[in-house]
């Protein structure tokens, strides 16, 4: 896979489905420099970086990524071997968060390193010892899985579709009890997508096993990706079409898994 887990997921969606604009971040720089420069014939930052990328002069990179913050807060749950009780059923919330101050602004990703290390270490002790990999290998896998899950929320909220549109942010984008299944299901589906796009089979299997391990004791919303992906009409292209259709709903109550999957088959006639 591309070295950087953010590029691995975002560039794949961009290259395969035309989602997002890796160079959008340069538009702001262009606006600022336009204000200063009188010469309209000079190429813009956006055009220059895009040209260099397309001509293999730069490594492919998704520049317009969200801010990612690594937090050192002490984990609030005891993941030690002695604690054999069920895991908290919102593990992904303990490990990371995608936080928006306002729905019509881009959010930020937070990763909670202490909890991530503890889950990676627990997996290493319980299941990873015979794989001849060190503890840190599994901690890194847990961190990447959580990062992909949070990027899944960012993709749903902020990444433009191949129609160049985002969600109707002031009306139908809302995360509450009635839409949580859809948002968590989509975050998990994008996590799964990132895992199956790992080229090396052994590495892919290791990631899949850690992902399954992290699903134990989890609330049903963290399993909703199965409902989406097991649908007979499922395809990744169809899922993205379903998201585009959800985004134009006017009522957040219509943001349901049923509505999402009902839009997937129409891809055949598109």
Judged by CB under 5 A, which stretch of 44-52, 89-97, 110-118, 250-258 contacts Zn ion? 89-97
- Mark 3-42 with x for binding to Zn ion (rule: CB under 5 A) and - for no binding: ----------------------------------------
Question: Quick one: which of 69, 61, 52, 48 has its CA closest to 21?
Answer: 61
Q: Which two tokens stand for residue 143?
A: 């961190």
Interactions with Zn ion, residue window 92-111 (CB under 5 A):
92
Least spacing, CB of residue 66 vs Zn ion, in Å: 14
111 bridge partner residues: 70, 96
Question: Quick one: which of 151, 159, 142, 157 has its CA closest to 94?
Answer: 142
Considering the complex, state which of residue 186 and residue 240 has its C-beta at the smaller distance from Zn ion: 186
- Mark 35-74 with x for binding to Zn ion (rule: CB under 5 A) and - for no binding: ----------------------------------------
Least spacing, CB of residue 248 vs Zn ion, in Å: 23
Q: Which two tokens stand for residue 180?
A: 């949580």
Considering the complex, state which of residue 103 and residue 137 has its C-beta at the smaller distance from Zn ion: 103
- Mark 129-158 with x for binding to Zn ion (rule: CB under 5 A) and - for no binding: ------------------------------
Least spacing, CB of residue 257 vs Zn ion, in Å: 15
Considering the complex, state which of residue 13 and residue 49 has its C-beta at the smaller distance from Zn ion: 13
Crossing angle, helix 180-196 and helix 5-17, to 10 degrees?
100
Considering the complex, state which of residue 202 and residue 212 has its C-beta at the smaller distance from Zn ion: 212
Chain position whose Cβ is nearest to Zn ion: 187
Considering the complex, state which of residue 92 and residue 123 has its C-beta at the smaller distance from Zn ion: 92
Considering the complex, state which of residue 10 and residue 187 has its C-beta at the smaller distance from Zn ion: 187
Judged by CB under 5 A, which stretch of 13-21, 23-31, 85-93, 119-127 contacts Zn ion? 85-93
Question: Quick one: which of 110, 109, 136, 119 has its CA closest to 77?
Answer: 119
Interactions with Zn ion, residue window 180-199 (CB under 5 A):
187
Considering the complex, state which of residue 44 and residue 90 has its C-beta at the smaller distance from Zn ion: 90
Binding site for Zn ion (CB under 5 A): 92, 187
């Amino acid at each position: 896979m591309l070295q950087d887990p953010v590029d691995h997921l975002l560039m794949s969606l961009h290259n395969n489905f035309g989602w997002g604009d890796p160079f959008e971040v340069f538009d702001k720089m262009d606006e600022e420099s336009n204000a200063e420069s009188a010469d309209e014939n000079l190429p813009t930052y956006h055009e220059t970086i895009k040209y260099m990328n397309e001509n293999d002069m730069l490594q492919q990179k998704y520049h317009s990524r969200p801010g990612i913050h690594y937090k050192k807060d002490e984990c609030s749950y005891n993941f030690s071997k002695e604690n054999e009780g069920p895991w908290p059923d919102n593990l992904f919330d303990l490990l990371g968060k995608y936080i928006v101050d306002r729905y019509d602004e881009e959010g930020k990703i937070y990763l909670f390193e202490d909890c991530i290390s503890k889950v990676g270490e627990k997996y290493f002790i319980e299941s990873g010892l015979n794989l001849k990999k060190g503890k840190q290998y599994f901690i890194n896998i847990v961190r990447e899985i959580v990062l992909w899950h949070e990027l899944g929320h960012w993709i749903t909220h902020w990444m433009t579709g191949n129609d160049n549109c985002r969600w109707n942010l002031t009306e139908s984008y809302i995360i509450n009890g009635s839409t949580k299944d859809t948002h968590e299901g989509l975050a998990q589906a994008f996590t799964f997508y990132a895992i199956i796009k790992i080229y090396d089979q052994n590495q892919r299997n290791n990631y899949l096993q850690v992902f399954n391990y992290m699903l134990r004791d989890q609330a049903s919303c963290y399993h909703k990706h199965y409902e989406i992906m097991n649908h007979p009409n499922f395809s990744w292209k169809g899922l993205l079409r379903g998201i585009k259709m959800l985004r134009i709903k006017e009522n957040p109550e219509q943001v349901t898994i049923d509505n999402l999957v009902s839009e997937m088959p129409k891809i055949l006639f598109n």
